[in-house]
Structure formats: structure tokens, C-alpha cells
Amino acid sequence: MATLTKDQAEDRTTVGHSARIEHVSKSFTGPAGRQLVLDDITLDVAPGEFVTLLGASGCGKSTLLNLVAGLDAPTAGTITTHGRPALMFQEHALFPWLTAGKNIELALRLRGVAKSERRTEAERLLELVRLGGSYGKRVHELSGGMRQRVALARAIAQDSQLLLMDEPFAALDAITRDVLHGELTRIWRETQLSVLFVTHNVREAVRLAERVVLLSSRPGRIAREWTVGIEHPRRIEDTAVAELSVEITEELRGEIRRHGQH
């Protein structure tokens, strides 16, 4: 999916949204009674758009992502997506008994790709994430960053228009994370995927996204949005990235203070 055909490109431009979240609320019932986690969330992700969901721990970011993925149902409201989303977790979730290539082939098989075509496609996707030649490597032979690259290739193998990412780089060291930020940006621009990316790292949100959406502390509500008008390629230390990060951080601190006053 590194290059779109003319028909694919035309199809994506006619779709009004990759994900539409309309007045979504989610509550859970536990020992302490009913708890409202998300309250009246309305958000669209346009075709080819990169949106980050930002907020303090426990604000419902991952819950919202799971709802969009179809892993759970909202208590109220509706969620529609253009096709089935692909989901990438903080943990790579690769099968350790399979090679890197076979992990990707599993997604291709589930998608209905013919057996005779799977290896070629898996190798192409490994090239896309700059792991050419790693088809036969076992998971234990791969570094943390390499495992996340394979997980990304496997997610792209699902041929979804919408990629959901739940803090996929949080467990990586700073240098590896920086490299993968650049790689993800390149792949997103090449594939024209829509991305909904969950993070609690403000600079990560600003470096990657076209739009940053801040959720309030529980219950999660959309507190504010920013359009990031900074040209790519961006670096984490860029002045414009730093300045917008400071502004967003102040808003995030305000949300945390407000939550602490309840």
C-alpha cells in the first residue's frame, strides 16, 4: 500500500470521513457504581488525516480508540468508519513462534490474499518499514524498535484506510522513538492512511499530527483542538514544535488541576 492506484485515490477522495464519532459516551459499572468515562464525544477523522488524542492518564483515550476499533460498544452515540480499522498497540503483540514475515502473512491471509502472493507482499511491507531482509528473523532476534516496525507493517497489511495507534512508541528509548516518529510520518505520507494516534506525550502529538485533540480528565470530553500548521519533516526539537507544545501543555495542566479540584 505504499503507492495508491488511481482508482484507490479517487475512492478515498470521495469518502467524507475515515471515522465519524457522534455524541459518544461510555460508562462502566463496577464496585463503586456507574462511572462515566467518556461524555458526548463528537469527532471526525478525514481521509488521509493524522489526528492525535492527548490527555492525562485515565481520561479515556484508549477507551475511545477501542470503541472506534469495534472492540467495545459505546453506551450512547454512534461510531462509523470507512471499512474496518487496523489497530496497533503499545506492545507489539507479535507471535513469537512466527518469523517477522510470517507475522505479516497472517494478516494477509486473514484479508484473503492468495497464498502464492503473501511472501512477496510481506517482503514489500518489510521494505516499506525499512526492514528489508528481515523476513526470516524470529521475534527474539529483533530489537524493540524493529518489533514495532513489524507490527506497523502487519497493521498496514490489513489494507485499512484507518490506522488506530495506542501509544505504540511509549516503551521505546528516546532515540528509537525519534527515529520511528520520522518513519511513521514518511509511511503515513506515502500511503495516505488516516491515523488516530493516542499519546500522553505532548511533543510527540505535535511532531506527528495535523490536528491535536485534548481530552479533559474523567469524564473525557473534548476540551480543545489545535490545527498543527508546521511543515513536514518536523523534529522534536524544532522551535515551532516546542512553542506549540508549551501552549498545549499549559492547557493539559489546567485540565489536570480542574480534575484535582473535584
pLDDT of amino acid 138: 94
Task: pLDDT band for 15, please (50, 70, 90 cuts).
Answer: low
Judge whether residue 237 has pLDDT over 70.
yes
Confirm whether pTM is higher than 0.75.
Answer: yes
Which residues, in sequence order, are CB contacts of 255 under 8 Å at separation 6+? 55, 56, 59, 214, 216, 217, 223
Please, what is the average pLDDT of the chain? 89
Highest CATH level, class, for 6-85+161-260: alpha beta
Judge whether residue 66 has pLDDT over 80.
yes
| Helix and strand numbers, DSSP H then E, in the chain | 8, 9
pLDDT of amino acid 4: 37
Q: Are 146 and 131 in contact (CB under 8 A)?
A: yes
For residue 239, how many other CB atoms are within 10 A of its CB? Answer: 9
- pLDDT tens digit string along 85-143? 999 987 778 999 999 999 999 999 998 999 999 999 999 999 999 999 999 999 999 99
The residue extents of the domains of the chain are 6-85+161-260, 95-159
- pLDDT tens digit string along 215-229? 998 899 999 999 999
Mean pLDDT of 224-248: 94
For residue 213, how many other CB atoms are within 10 A of its CB? Answer: 22
Task: pLDDT band for 1, please (50, 70, 90 cuts).
Answer: very low
Q: How far apart are CA 127 and CA 133, in angstroms?
A: 8
